[in-house]
Amino acid sequence: MGCIARLGCLFVLVIGGIIGWFTRDRWLPEQFRSHSAVASNAVWRPVTSDGAVRTRVALEKLSQPRGQVFQTLPASDLASYAFAELSKRLPASADSVETMVSGESISVRANVRLADLGGSAALGAIGAVLNDREKVQLTGTFKVLKPGLAEFIVKDVRVRNFPVPQGMIPTLIKRLDNGNRPAELSPAGLAVPIPRYVGDIRVANGKVTLYKTAP
């Protein structure tokens, strides 16, 4: 009977362990959750003028002297605002713009004329299988460089679904960027003008938090 009881206890522990493993995303702290749970929140959303407007409203609230010291909004709204600013610098051929958030990274993709990237020859071996226009995806993070200026640091570039070698990214970014590049900008960064009172930008769980500069 003692052996049977021990086997019964072992069976209960095994079943409990299996249930705990498959439900871990409900009770584990976020940093220990499975990657699939984070990825499941990653959905492409169109960049909209409404999202840019909502970001401007949040920035206006942040500017109030007695207002909150931070504002939180969907990361897709910040991407809409950023693209509205970047569109003045990017090639006019870019259309069908979408954005996606995964963890702390924001991705933006658009249908772009490859001639604006220097042509298919500028993309190395993958250029031979590409069309005149392709989906170009930029993935990266935001960073405040100084009062009035942030950058979108591009860490990954994909054309169609082909990854671009890391060493080629700064060159492609410079070809995409038609504006003057501030000295503070990273080699793979795109300048994003921001109000001078924004001191920090943080992205997590599909949300972005804008922090006011400390007085």
- Check residue 178 and give its pLDDT: 78
The answer to whether residue 147 scores a pLDDT higher than 50 is yes
The answer to whether residue 108 scores a pLDDT higher than 80 is yes
Q: Is 46 exposed, middle or buried (0-12, 13-18, 19+ CB in 10 A)?
A: exposed
Cα 121 from Cα 131, distance rounded (Å): 12
- Check residue 15 and give its pLDDT: 58
The answer to whether residue 184 scores a pLDDT higher than 70 is yes
Residues forming a β-bridge with 112:
134
pLDDT, tens digit (0-9, with 9 covering 90-100), for 28-44: 554 444 444 344 457 88
Please report where in the chains the tokens 């990273």 appear, as a residue: 186
- Check residue 40 and give its pLDDT: 40
* The model scores a pTM over 0.85: no
pLDDT, tens digit (0-9, with 9 covering 90-100), for 44-73: 888 888 989 999 999 998 898 887 899 999
Q: What is the DSSP string of 78-131?
A: HHHHHHHHHTTTS-TT-EEEEEEEETTEEEEEEEEEGGGGT-GGGGGGGGGG--
Cα 173 from Cα 153, distance rounded (Å): 10
Mean pLDDT of 141-156: 93
Q: Is 74 exposed, middle or buried (0-12, 13-18, 19+ CB in 10 A)?
A: middle
User: Residue 24 — pLDDT band, cuts 50, 70, 90?
Assistant: low
Mean pLDDT of 102-121: 85
User: Residue 23 — pLDDT band, cuts 50, 70, 90?
Assistant: low
- Dihedral of CA atoms 181, 139, 86, 200 in degrees, nearest 10, equals -80
Helix axis angle for 49-62 and 75-86, nearest 10°, is: 100
Please report where in the chains the tokens 């498959």 appear, as a residue: 22
Cα 37 from Cα 88, distance rounded (Å): 36
